[in-house]
Amino acid sequence: MNETVTTKAARQAGYRQNATGPQKTLGHLAMVAFAALVAGSFSVGAIVAPHIGPASLNAARFLVAIVLMGIVVRVVLRRPIPFPAAPWRFFVMGGAMALFFITMFTALGMTDPVSTGAIFTLMPFLSTFFGYLFLRQVPRGLVLPSLILAGVGAIWVIFGGDLDAVRRFDVGRGETIFFFGVVGHAAYASLVRFYNRGEPVLVFTFWTLLATGIIIAVYGVGEIAATHWQSIPFKVWAGILYLAIFTTAGTFFLLQFAALRLPASKVLAYNYLTPTLIIIYEGLLGHGWASFSVIAGAGVTILGLVLLVLAPDG
């Protein structure tokens, strides 16, 4: 049976408020899982990247993710996926995320991962701004100090605990380009709640994935057409499948799930966990542990996030 208009309106009204109790806890756990999946994707990305261009890689991963999410939504709903009202909403959100992916790979061709990682730490602060702009969310209590503490720890980890490397950091063209992508990603968390009209999270995720994939495909049509798909090694297809399932469909769902329950300032703060989790993964895989100085920076990040979780929602 289709949902009534009243039910959809009630869900939309609920999504405009911050969650409490178990739903709030689930929102935080969703973002911990989000950070864990993103961190785990770096090793896979390193294997895949030399064999396929960035536009083709992203187009392939989104195509697989869209098909997968479409099947899941169809099975869960037990009916055709409903066409959304005002589909332009999804192209606004998809454009914000496509901007992030496109500028990230563009910037990595001009600068190094450390520099882009440093720019990435601006995201939670930008998301706080967009949370106020779109949703009138005002950070309370320890939210901003916690973000600063977690951000300092993340920067320390990104630069490998090297103070001289931090001092040498220079904002060039690549960093500037990536900054605009970070702005797009930061806006996305607030846009999810701003544009949601009571659609279930799975349906909302499907249409957002589809819009993002279309924009990326249009942008990279030349590279996609020139790619020799039949020559791509099996390990690359396996990597694309992993990225599509876990770090595209999975992370989109988790981010939207959390964004409908938590303030924007708290949602994207979990990105600070990514460098720390990479350290843990590398150590567990036998690739060596980071220095005590870097691990201390990771500890500062975790402390900042714990304080953020305990701080009242805006």
Q: Is the pLDDT reported for residue 10 higher than 50? A: no
Report the Cα 22 to chain-centroid distance in Å. 23
* Distance from C-alpha of 66 to C-alpha of 71, rounded to nearest angstrom: 9
Q: In terms of C-beta density within 10 A (0-12 exposed, 13-18 middle, 19 or more buried), how is residue 93 classed?
A: buried
pTM of the entire predicted model: 0.84
Quick: pLDDT tens for 95-144.
Answer: 999 999 888 878 877 877 777 778 888 888 899 899 999 988 888 778 88
What burial class does residue 20 get, using C-beta atoms within 10 Å of its C-beta: 0-12 exposed, 13-18 middle, 19+ buried? exposed
Listed in sequence order, the DSSP H helices in the chain are 5-15, 21-48, 54-77, 88-108, 113-120, 123-135, 143-158, 163-168, 173-195, 201-219, 221-226, 234-244, 251-259, 264-267, 273-284, 292-310
In terms of average pLDDT, the best of 130-139, 250-259, 272-281 is 250-259
Sign of CA dihedral 91, 96, 100, 106: positive
Q: Identify the burial level of 168 via C-beta atoms within 10 angstroms of its C-beta, where 0-12 means exposed, 13-18 middle and 19 or more buried.
A: exposed
pLDDT at 286: 81
d(CA 277, CA 40): 8
Query: Which tens digit of pLDDT belongs to each residue from 73-87?
Result: 999 999 999 999 999
pLDDT of residue 278: 80
Could you give the maximum distance between any two Cα atoms of the chain, in Å? 63
CA distances from 301 to 10, 32, 85, 277, 314 (A): 37, 13, 41, 11, 21
According to the model, what pLDDT value does residue 207 have? Answer: 97
Phi-psi category of residue 86: left, alpha or beta, with phi > 0 → left and psi -120 to 50 → alpha: left
